[in-house]
Structure 1
């Protein structure tokens, strides 16, 4: 480097590239792009996919419980569920035990859609380039970080 050219400063603690949140953000964006591509042929968005999986696995669920699972508030979740109901993927009914609560369940079409997506996790793993062991370790690390951050909020 010539004496007259400015030197590149070493990254400091507030450098964007040094931020774990930025690394996670860019990773999530990359995952979103892959999911968007793979889910498009099934007519689902990523939030719809996650909601449908949660409902099919745990349902029928109250809207509030689904919101807890997805970490979404009812203002975001309700329009999502309305679109899914219009598409015939879920049904919403009042809870017979408490009329104030709404139960969401997967329809037969919703269950068929989830069954058609059974290979999606393997496709995502293959595109990530990570081995099964690396994916499991990453999953465990992310769960640990989430749990610890939740404990502090």
Structure 2
């Protein structure tokens, strides 16, 4: 992946991971989003529905569909928040807790496979790089500090999804 842009590598890798999780989840009539939601809901105290979207990085409409599907499959129940009558708490059912364990084991299996294939040092570098990328995005230090003409695209090869970028000095 030497000549590929960083965003391409991230996107392609995440799509491969998502496809892998969705293939595994489909064996259990579920999806990656369902598994992620199961892992994001506090298994004992429930979770306010309003905090799930930001916690999962999901838009409200996608989250609503996911929660509706989970409710239909009896993985979750919704109850009024006793501390805030306008809010709703999402609780896992016993069946939801079983599926949560399955999701947790699936994630741990993936982590173990990656850790067995990549040295601890390389994994630490990967985490550091991901942290820096996230920090640049959160702090809006990517496009706000770039002036027109500072970056020039010298070659775009859409067949290979390659974009070589040279920053001018």
Fold match (TM-score > 0.5): yes
More deviation, 34-43/143-152: 143-152
User: 1:152 maps to what in 2?
Assistant: 140
Q: Which runs of 5+ in 1 are unaligned?
A: 1-16
| Greater helix fraction, Structure 1 or Structure 2 | 1
Given the two structures, how large is their TM-score scaled by the length of structure 2?
A: 0.69
Contact 1:48 1:80 in 2 (8 A): yes
User: 1:9 maps to what in 2?
Assistant: none
Given the two structures, how large is their TM-score scaled by the length of structure 1?
A: 0.75
2:53 to 40, 61, 67: 67
* Cα separation, 2, equivalents of 1:86 and 1:54: 18
- 1:1-153 alignment runs, 5 A limit: 17-56=3-42, 59-125=45-111, 126=113, 130-131=117-118, 133=120, 134-135=122-123, 137-152=125-140
| Greater strand fraction, Structure 1 or Structure 2 | 2
C-alpha deviation, 1:131, in angstroms: 2.9
User: 2:163 maps to what in 1?
Assistant: none
Label 1:19 to 1:136 Cα distance change in 2 as closer, same or farther (>3 A): same
Q: Deviations over 1:78-127 (max 9, x none)?
A: 11101101101111111122121111111111111122344313432427
Greater RCO between the two (CA within 8 Å, min separation 6)? Answer: 2
Contact 1:34 1:124 in 2 (8 A): no
Label 1:147 to 1:101 Cα distance change in 2 as closer, same or farther (>3 A): farther
Q: Deviations over 1:56-80 (max 9, x none)?
A: 4585111111111011222221111
* Cα separation, 2, equivalents of 1:128 and 1:45: 24
Label 1:58 to 1:24 Cα distance change in 2 as closer, same or farther (>3 A): farther
Q: Which runs of 5+ in 2 are unaligned?
A: 142-169
Aligned residues: 137
